[in-house]
Structure 1
Amino acid sequence: MTPLFSFLVLSLKFLSADCKTEAGFCSCSCQKKELIMKAVSILTVLSAAVFGFFVGISFPVQITPQLQCGILPCSSGDAANYSFSGTSMIGILWSAFRNTNIQSNGTSENHAVTKPKGAEKLPPGLVVTESDLHMRRLWGSPKEDVATGKYLLALAVGYSEKANVNATVHKFSDEFDVVLFHYDGRTTEWDDLEWSKQAVHVSARKQTKWWFAKRFLHPSIVAPYEYIFLWDEDLGVDNFTAEEYVKVAMKHGLEISQPGLDSTRGKKTYEVTVRRNDAGEMHKTNEGGRCPDVHQRPCSGFVEVMAPVFSREAWTCVWHMIQNDLVHGWGLDFNFWRCVDNPEEQIGIVDAQYVSHHGVPTLISQGNGEQEGSSEKVRARQWAEMHTFRERISNAEKERGNSAAALEEYHP
Structure 2
Amino acid sequence: MASEGLEISQPALDPDQSLDIHHRITVRDRKAKVHRRVYDVRGSLNCSNESTGPPCTGWVEGMAPVFSRAAWKCAWHLIQNDLIHGWGLDMKLGYCAQGDRTKKVGVIDTEYIVHQGIPSLGGGGSVNKAPSKSLDLRAHIRRQSTAELEKFKERWDQAVREDKEWVDPFEGYTRIRD
Same fold (TM over 0.5): yes
- What runs of 5+ residues in structure 1 fail to find an aligned partner? 1-248
1:349 to 98, 107, 120: 107
Residues 257 and 310, structure 1, Cα contact 8 Å, conserved in 2: yes
The alignment partner of 1:316 has SS state of helix
Q: Are the aligned partners of 2:12 and 2:108 in contact in 1 as well (CA < 8 Å)?
A: yes
**1:324-351 C-alpha deviation (Å, 9 max, x unpaired):** 2112111110000111222111110001
Partner of 1:338: 95
Q: Quote the residue 2:177 is aligned against.
A: 410
Secondary structure of residue in 2 paired with 1:268:
coil
Query: Does residue 304 in structure 1 map to residue 56 in structure 2?
Result: no
Residue 380 (structure 1) shift = 1.0
TM-score (norm 2): 0.78
Residue identity opposite 2:122 in structure 1 = I
CA distance in 1: counterparts of 2:110 and 2:167, whole angstroms: 39
- 1:389 maps to 2:140: no
Cα deviation digits, residues 240-299 of structure 1 (max 9, x gap):
xxxxxxxxx111111110011112221211111111133x2101111x322435211101
In 1, the alpha carbon distance for the partners of 2:37 and 2:82 equals: 32
Distance across 1 between alignment mates of 2:65 and 2:172: 23
Deviation for aligned residue 1:395: 2.2
Instruction: Give me the whole-angstrom Cα distance separating, in 1, the residues matched to 2:151 and 2:176.
Output: 13
Match of 1:255 in 2: 7
RMSD over aligned CA atoms reads 2.4
Which entry has the higher C-alpha Rg, 1 or 2?
1
Q: Deviations over 1:356-377 (max 9, x none)?
A: 21110132239xx9xx533321
Q: Is the 8 A contact 1:334 1:409 kept in 2?
A: no
Residue 357 of structure 1 aligns to a residue in which SS? coil
TM-score in terms of structure 1 length: 0.35
Measure, in 2, the Cα distance between the counterparts of 1:388 and 1:406: 24
- The list of structure 1 runs, each at least 4 consecutive aligned residues, that deviate by more than 3 angstroms after superposition, is 401-409
- Indicate the structure with greater helix content: 1
Unaligned runs of 5+ in 2: none
Q: Deviations over 1:155-213 (max 9, x none)?
A: xxxxxxxxxxxxxxxxxxxxxxxxxxxxxxxxxxxxxxxxxxxxxxxxxxxxxxxxxxx
Within-5 A mapping of 1:1-400: 249-266=1-18, 267-278=20-31, 280-286=32-38, 288-290=39-41, 291-292=45-46, 293-340=50-97, 341-365=99-123, 373-400=136-163
